[in-house]
Structure 1
Amino acid sequence: MQSNTFSGLFEGQNVITLQRTPSTNEFLKKELSKSTPLAEGTVIMAVDQYAGRGQKDAIWHSEPGKNLTFSLLLTPTFLNPKHQFHLTVAISLAVAQWLEALLKTPVKIKWPNDIYIGDKKIGGILIENILAGKTWKSAIVGIGINVNQTVFPDPISKQVTSIKQILHNDSNIPKLLAELCNHIGHAYQALKKESFDTLLATYRKRLYRFGETHPFLVDGVKVTGALAGVTEAGRLQIDFEGHVVDFDIKEIAFVI
């Protein structure tokens, strides 16, 4: 385990690098459960994360030393716990805007927080919130970005991409980490100061397949509808020929 710092909006941002761990989110949760004193903005970075998780307990496949796999500790006590989706919006926008500036190509957010280029996934976010009664104690923001990996397992090889596959050269992972955390820091500050309606409107415009008609799985049944948006609470809105229905993440799935 190695610890260092880089400058950012979180003063003296501490970066702890683990050579190998199942999950940076799980590592950070265990440290917090032991009452380890960790400042807001602490980053747990893994060289080899071999059991990373995504939404719905999906496994995140990452070749050791090739990708960004890290968790960021935040303490969003300024938000009401019922507004957990607000943090999802801010973090997702930060990642998408950072990647778009880096790659010079459009980047979309596949609801609620997968990052897509075209029809291929390049990254994902998993936010786990720790509440204390009616107070939001902390948020563990797990992020995985495909950077220098170019070969992926067969089941997903045609569904994913990486920074190297787009730029055709290797990237410096520590440098990318510092840049991305800086973007997240700015987005986090904006969440404190700006109207959430503005952030939500920007998020909606970035939604993967926004306004397009596609098949979805609802309770295992294939249906066709147009992605109409997302509610303030984070529920996906689908327009079925003029009848708009909103869904929780456990109720609907994209057909890719």
Structure 2
Amino acid sequence: MGNITAKFINILQSNTILGLFVGQNIITLQQVPSTNEYLKDKLSNSTPLAEGTVIMAVHQFAGRGQKGTSWHSEPGKNLTFSLLLTPTFLNPKHQFSLTVAISLAIAQWLESLLHTAIKVKWPNDIYIGDKKIGGILIENILKGKVWKSAVVGIGINVNQVDFPETFQEHSIAIKQILHKDSNIGELLPDLCKYIEREYFELKNGGFEGQLAMYKQYLYRLGEVHPFLIDGVSVAGVLCGVTAAGRLMIDFNGHVVDFDIKEVAFSVKPN
């Protein structure tokens, strides 16, 4: 691990992303339980950090996803980082708009890199086919009615091809598409460009167009698929998502929208 770690850190420390604010300041940690937790601790201790600061981990050993799921990452093999944004231009009730912007940025970046179809499994897992290649966890910090800051955690499988048994069948990495190792220090600035572009698009009032594009990226869009609702598997057609981030499912002509706590993708219909 020593050589991998040293190479990883040297690449990132020497990297300067000219003209960008996202990723201009990169703090690289050799080992940390969670980059999101590290960044939130920094903010709670009133540490002054510029918007766009990236906390990058060589080894993140307790990463989290939506609904408390775990993110498993081998040291030095994947992109595991958290990004600080201050979307004070948005009303806190529009938090899903940031999820849309970040999801689009990652999906479009991966498409340009891999030249293959990318899907977003609602609300913010990134898929190739039926396999997960990445995930996002956004944790928002509010001050009264103002959206003070957002800690955007991102994990992308890059060079790791061996996953824990429970994840192996449904996980995929960039290496398995390109059939070669990728330089993580070179991938990060390119991804930051896409994130910055979509963030500015959101800031400039482009959410409506972003939402329309996000819908086109939806995993299982227009397909009959089983969904788990109140412990029961029910077949329906995923037909979209609302501006508030609720998943829309058509059950024989009756469209119902669900919050993330109310529905889940099921393996098979009842």
Does the TM-score normalized on the shorter chain lie above 0.5? Answer: yes
1:203-252 CA-partner distances (Å, limit 9, x unpaired): 00110000101101012111110001000000000000000000000111
Distance 1:247 1:160 in 2: 26
Whether 2:126 is the aligned partner of 1:115: answer yes
Per-residue deviation at 1:13?
1.2
Whether 2:195 is the aligned partner of 1:184: answer yes
Distance 1:111 1:11 in 2: 25
Distance 2:150 2:132 in 1: 24
Instruction: Provide runs of 4+ in structure 1 moved above 2 Å.
Output: 1-9
2:170 maps to which of 148, 156, 159:
159
What amino acid sits opposite 1:103 in the alignment? Answer: L
Per-residue deviation at 1:104?
0.3
Tell me the residue number matched to 2:67.
Answer: 56
Point out the structure with the larger strand share. Answer: 1
With structure 2 as the length reference, what TM-score do the two structures score? 0.92
Tell me the residue number matched to 2:249.
Answer: 238
Distance 2:218 2:242 in 1: 13
1:79 maps to which of 90, 94, 116:
90
Where in structure 2 are the equivalents of 1:89-104 lying within 5 Å? 89-104=100-115
**Contact 1:100/1:107 (CA < 8 Å) preserved in 2?**
yes
Tell me the residue number matched to 2:211.
Answer: 200
Tell me the residue number matched to 2:233.
Answer: 222
Q: 1:222 to 1:125 in 2, by over 3 A?
A: same
| Secondary structure at the counterpart of residue 156 of structure 1 | helix
Q: Which runs of 5+ in 1 are unaligned?
A: none
Count matched residues: 256
1:98-129 CA-partner distances (Å, limit 9, x unpaired): 00000000000000000000000000000000
Tell me the residue number matched to 1:131.
Answer: 142
**Contact 1:8/1:182 (CA < 8 Å) preserved in 2?**
no
| Percent of paired sites with the same residue | 71
Where in structure 2 are the equivalents of 1:241-252 lying within 5 Å? 241-252=252-263
1:13-38 CA-partner distances (Å, limit 9, x unpaired): 10000000000000000000000010
Q: 1:12 to 1:83 in 2, by over 3 A?
A: closer
Distance 1:12 1:59 in 2: 25
Distance 1:88 1:103 in 2: 22
Q: Which runs of 5+ in 2 are unaligned?
A: 1-8
1:65-89 CA-partner distances (Å, limit 9, x unpaired): 1000000000000001000000000
Distance 1:8 1:139 in 2: 22
RMSD value, Cα: 1.4
What amino acid sits opposite 1:72 in the alignment? Answer: L
With structure 1 as the length reference, what TM-score do the two structures score? 0.97
Distance 2:42 2:127 in 1: 32
